Amino acid sequence: MTVPGLDGEGPWRALAPRTLATLLRTYGRDQFEVCEDAVQDALLEAHVHWTKAPPDDPQGWLTVTARRRYVDRVRSDRRRRDREGRVALLDAPLSHEGVQSDDALLLLQLCCHPALARSAQVALTLRAVAGLSTAQIANAYQLPEATIAQRITRAKRRLAEVGSGFTRPGDVAERLAPVLDVLYVMFTEAHHTTSGAPAHDTDLAGEAIHLARLLREAAPDSTEVAGLLALTLLTEARHPARVGAQGQLVPLDEQDRSRWDRSAVDEGLALLDAVVPGADPGPYLLQACIAGVHAHAPDTDATDWDEIHALYTVLEHTTGGRNPTITLNRIVAASMVRGPEAALCDLDGLEAHHPRLARVDAVRAHLLERAGRTDEAATSYRRAIAATVNVAEQRHLRDRLRALGKGRGHQGDGS
């Protein structure tokens, strides 16, 4: 849910989903849209009142206010034929389930309802739990914003049709696949924001890791859950070295690895050591293994690129070649094994099938620079800058373009 002035700020990321989950448990899951509207109303009230006098208990204040706004909305809904019945339910909640260890995880499971298509499950949950905007979700899936908005609207309508049959799953494994997808997109958006700035969304990353830990407790035998948690830990461990003092993006090959969060690296690697032997690896465990290879290497030159390329090849096969971003990453790994020229040929083929794929121009520019084709590299850097909305990434690409220009100038002076 998006509230002007609130969306993206730390406390709201956790408060809003927990409040929504509380209302859904109290008044029934067929009331999803009304409950969501009530929480939005409460957030707007908070924006007005909290700037002057923040409450001692923000979660309690928001929940009480959201309940009041829900009551107001139900009582004013004269278009519904069962209006009186709904008002009566305000004093007799539909659900008396036990206290959930974390309301955000409960809401994550509820939104991933089997009555919804997988794509609708993920889109709705990314809005309700992660608080991502429709534009961010669309960017993550490389789809038009209108398509994602339509999915979310249809999902809400379907949940209303399901009504009181919308129950919590008896087994976490029932909805594990879409829940993992949601957490993965959450963390990907946090690590590589598509909304413009900053380069890294610390609050969203923290919430994704928090939920992944809870899911690991709920499904301790799942190697994919362990893989996702390991992947988030190993990736987040790089953050201190990934963003410079002025907010500039520092690519992996230029990072000071001594600044990586060693405790997060150790925890991630320990998870892999515990679950990889004998496992039939899925997409998340394979990506965690790739992150693990990077974590073991002291620098880029010492990295086992043959192993990374092999893992990406297996990952591409496991996902049926349906994820072009995985193919793009495999091409980058291949360039470290076979050189940039061969990788550029592969990149041409990928772009022909996926002309709107993010990062293609940035990767092409880097490969052309490595191949010494500086004029072409400069053109690709300009295209990449124009296609990138993330401010920190734009700055990084401009820096590379400027450095390339200086190098070309020096070559000209010496010739």
How many CB atoms are closer than 10 A to CB 239?
18
The distance from CA 168 to its chain's CA centroid, rounded to whole angstroms, is: 24
Domain boundary residue among 99, 127, 155? 99
pLDDT, greater one: 131 or 346: 346
Contact 131, 2 (CB under 8 A): yes
In the chain, pLDDT over 90 holds for what percent of residues? 45
Is the confidence at residue 68, as pLDDT, over 50? yes
Residue 282 lies in a domain: no
Distance, in Å, from the CA atom of 272 to the CA atom of 265, rounded to the nearest integer, reads 11
Query: Coil, strand, or helix at residue 249?
Result: strand
Residue 158 lies in a domain: no
DSSP letter for 217, please.
Answer: H
pLDDT of residue 79: 45
* pLDDT tens digits, one per residue of 5-24: 444 444 666 788 888 888 88
Question: DSSP alpha helices (H): ranges in 28-165?
Answer: 32-49, 58-75, 83-89, 103-111, 118-128, 134-141, 145-162
Distance, in Å, from the CA atom of 209 to the CA atom of 187, rounded to the nearest integer, reads 8
Which of 185, 119, 192 minimizes the C-alpha distance to 358? 192
> How confident is the prediction for the chain on average, in pLDDT?
83
Which of 294, 279, 287 minimizes the C-alpha distance to 228? 287
Residue 78 lies in a domain: yes
Residue 27 lies in a domain: yes
DSSP letter for 243, please.
Answer: B
Domain boundary residue among 41, 75, 99? 99
Residue 407 lies in a domain: yes
Distance, in Å, from the CA atom of 109 to the CA atom of 334, rounded to the nearest integer, reads 38
Distance, in Å, from the CA atom of 238 to the CA atom of 255, rounded to the nearest integer, reads 8
Return the residue matching tokens 């919430």: 207
Residue 153 lies in a domain: no
pLDDT of residue 37: 86
Contact 327, 321 (CB under 8 A): yes
Residue 214 lies in a domain: no
Beta-bridge partner residues of 243:
249
pLDDT of residue 195: 62
pLDDT of residue 233: 98
Is the confidence at residue 250, as pLDDT, over 80? yes
Distance, in Å, from the CA atom of 170 to the CA atom of 197, rounded to the nearest integer, reads 40
Is the confidence at residue 92, as pLDDT, over 70? no
Distance, in Å, from the CA atom of 183 to the CA atom of 106, rounded to the nearest integer, reads 13
pLDDT, greater one: 202 or 255: 255
Residue 90 lies in a domain: yes
Which of 79, 72, 17, 11 minimizes the C-alpha distance to 41? 72
Q: Which domain holds residue 379?
A: 358-415
Mean pLDDT computed over 310-325? 94
Q: Tell me if the bond preceding 277 is cis, omega within 30° of 0.
A: no
DSSP letter for 280, please.
Answer: -
Domain boundary residue among 60, 79, 99? 99
* pLDDT tens digits, one per residue of 179-215: 999 999 999 988 887 766 667 788 888 889 999 999 9
Query: Which tokens hold the place of 165?
Result: 């049959």
Question: Could you give the number of structural domains in the chain?
Answer: 2
